[in-house]
Chains A and B, each alone.
Chain A
Amino acid sequence: MQPQQILDGQSLEFAFMGDIKAGFPSPAEDIRERLDLVRMLVRHSASTFFFRIDGVSMVDADMDEGDIIIVDRAVAPYNGCKAVCFIDGEYTVKRVEIGTEGAVLLPCNEQNHRYKPIPVGPEDDFLIWGVVTWIVKKA
């Protein structure tokens, strides 16, 4: 088709969407998807929050000073999950072990024996703020 046609002596222009090229059309034309890192790391944008790791590096936890951890409150705490907890007036990351007797919070640093497992009961002033879903660290 010509981009311009003559009709009764008047010119009539056609607007084409995109370029028209001769030859074999790209089979990838309809595929616009790109890998979106944010979509992978933030599954639920309403309930996902970022925290920064403060303090000395802790080998077992895979979390080093300055790392960003991604916390999703939509994820229900499961046995063995790492979670941001609030105990004694501050935030900390613990491994949560859920047994028949209730939950036990395990330190994420087994080398340092200063930190002992904490059994938690309903009377304790403690809360699981959210489950850690990703750790973002600089290479």
Chain B
Amino acid sequence: MYALADCNNFFASCERVFRPDLNGRPVIVLSNNDGCTIARSNEAKALGIKMGDPYFKIREIVERNGVAVFSSNFALYGDMSRRVQEVLRAFSPSVEQYSIDEAFLDLNGMDDVDFDAFAKEISRACRRLTGIPVSVGVAPTKTLAKIASKLCKQYPKLRGGCYMHRPQDIAKVLRKFPVEDVWGIGRKSVRRLSQMNVRTAWDYTQLSEVVVRRTFALPGLRTWQELKGIPSIGFEDVIEPKHSICVSRSFAHEITESAMLAEQVANFAVAAVDKLRKQGSLALEIVVFAMTNRFREDVPQTSSGICTVLPEATSDHRLIVLAAVDACRRLFRYGFGYKKAGVVITRLVQASNYTPSLFADADAAGREARLSGAIDSINRSFGPGSILFGVQGDGHIAMAREHQSPHYTTLWEDIPKVKVK
């Protein structure tokens, strides 16, 4: 048996934990730069606000209905996610964090458990301990567990937990479940499926194995087996290090100066190196890209990227920032207003497995490693951004965050205030 614990409207729910006055009121959270809607409370969904709706398009609905609007506060969401994971770990030793708001629990070996009560208890514990509402689906496969968790959201009487295991129950649910909402069915497959007259998850299970394998290859076959109750997707409780790391942002205002673009790119590079160092990897290649605002037809457009191969695999701040800034200066062209830029570091290798080339300057590498280690420990002790490269400016990524809530759980200055009466 597998469980999927899925936090309901996660970012909106995080905001509500610290603002109980917003319970029952519509809440939305906007993407970086206050661009589009990335989370909605049920009340906001009922107003017709869709995922991805640009803020300027829904402004009228927001104002008319008193919708509470938040800029994204990832420090808060990350900390609340950590708390939910900790609660889940009390229920199963193997928890696979699938995304910031979803985790699978491996329940194999827990045969005498009343899984329906178990699912409801997990949901109740998450709500009580962290304040976050969580839907828990339990089923014989991960794909079915995901479907079971969606049922909890549709039917409040399930009290946050749904155990779906009898074949006749599963069949009944799958007959009503749209195939495009099944985990693992990609957007590309949906078109093909509608041509084949496959509308529901049940229709998909009724295709022959040969047809599924031929049309949708191995991933499609796995989903087909999972829907039939045969576990086919492995459990990954050890997080694999990422093969590439990307940090990119849209800017609040278009950037027309080379030095300003370089400053932003340097900040992206530092953020990417921090992630790289956290997972213990080294990078061999760095890509810097920048583009103008493609939604504006009245201004000239450009979009370009430069890939730099580093002489040695490295995780040194200085080398990577230098390469990023150099690439940025080369791709910048006057007369364009840059709206978005980013840094991707790729061809990652694990530091522990890496052999430097014969001609690598070992002394220099040692010095760089000590410098980067010192930067890490200063920023760890005194907070991120305590020590910066000159080119980073003030170290802030220029973003519109007009509606950001305080960092309630990660900054002493921001912890909530309470009056004694």
The interface of chain A, by Cβ under 8 A from chain B, is: 44-47, 49-55, 58, 61, 63, 68-69, 73-74, 84, 86, 89-94, 107-109, 115, 127, 129
Contacts and interface: CB of A to CB of B under 8 A. Distances in A.
A46 B130 contact: yes
Contacts of A91: 416-419
Contacts of A74: 128-129
A51 B415 contact: yes
B420 A53 contact: yes
Interface string B138-149: 000000000000
Contacts, number: 76
20 contacts: A46-B83, A47-B87, A47-B130, A49-B409, A51-B417, A52-B417, A52-B418, A53-B419, A53-B420, A58-B420, A61-B420, A73-B130, A73-B131, A86-B20, A91-B416, A92-B421, A93-B420, A94-B421, A109-B420, A115-B421
A52 B419 contact: no
B415 A52 contact: yes
Interface in B398-421: 408-409, 412, 415-421
Contacts of B416: 49, 51-52, 91
A93 B416 CA distance: 13
B421 A54 contact: no
Nearest to A94: B421
A52 B415 CA distance: 7
A51 B418 contact: yes
A118 to B, nearest CB: 10
B86 interface: yes
A69 B128 contact: no
A115 B420 CA distance: 10
A108 to B, nearest CB: 5
Nearest to A63: B420
Given A46-B83, A46-B86, A46-B87, A53 B418 contact: yes
Contact of A92 (B131, B412, B419): B419
Nearest to A105: B421
A113 to B, nearest CB: 12
B21 interface: yes
A63 B408 CA distance: 20
A91 B421 CA distance: 10
A48 to B, nearest CB: 9
Contacts of B83: 45-47
B98 to A, nearest CB: 19
Interface in B16-31: 20-21
B418 A54 contact: yes
A93 B131 contact: no
Interface string B82-119: 01101100000000000000000000000000000000
A49 B406 CA distance: 14
B345 to A, nearest CB: 32
Contacts of B20: 86, 127, 129
Contacts of B86: 45-46
Nearest to A108: B420
A54 B130 contact: no
Contacts of A84: 418
Nearest to B88: A46
Contacts of B130: 46-47, 73
A73 B412 CA distance: 19
B420 A92 contact: yes
Contacts of A63: 420
B7 to A, nearest CB: 14
Chain A CB count within 10 A is highest, among B21, B412, B416, for B416
A72 to B, nearest CB: 9
Chain A CB count within 10 A is highest, among B21, B415, B418, for B418
Contact of A68 (B408, B415, B419): B415
Interface string B119-137: 0000000001111000000
Chain B CB count within 10 A is highest, among A47, A51, A54, A107, for A47
Contacts of B420: 53, 55, 58, 61, 63, 92-93, 108-109
A110 to B, nearest CB: 11
A58 B419 CA distance: 10
A54 B415 contact: no
Contacts of A47: 83, 87, 128-130
B409 A107 contact: no
Contacts of A49: 408-409, 415-416
Contacts of A73: 128-131
B129 A44 contact: yes
B419 A90 contact: yes
A73 B84 CA distance: 13
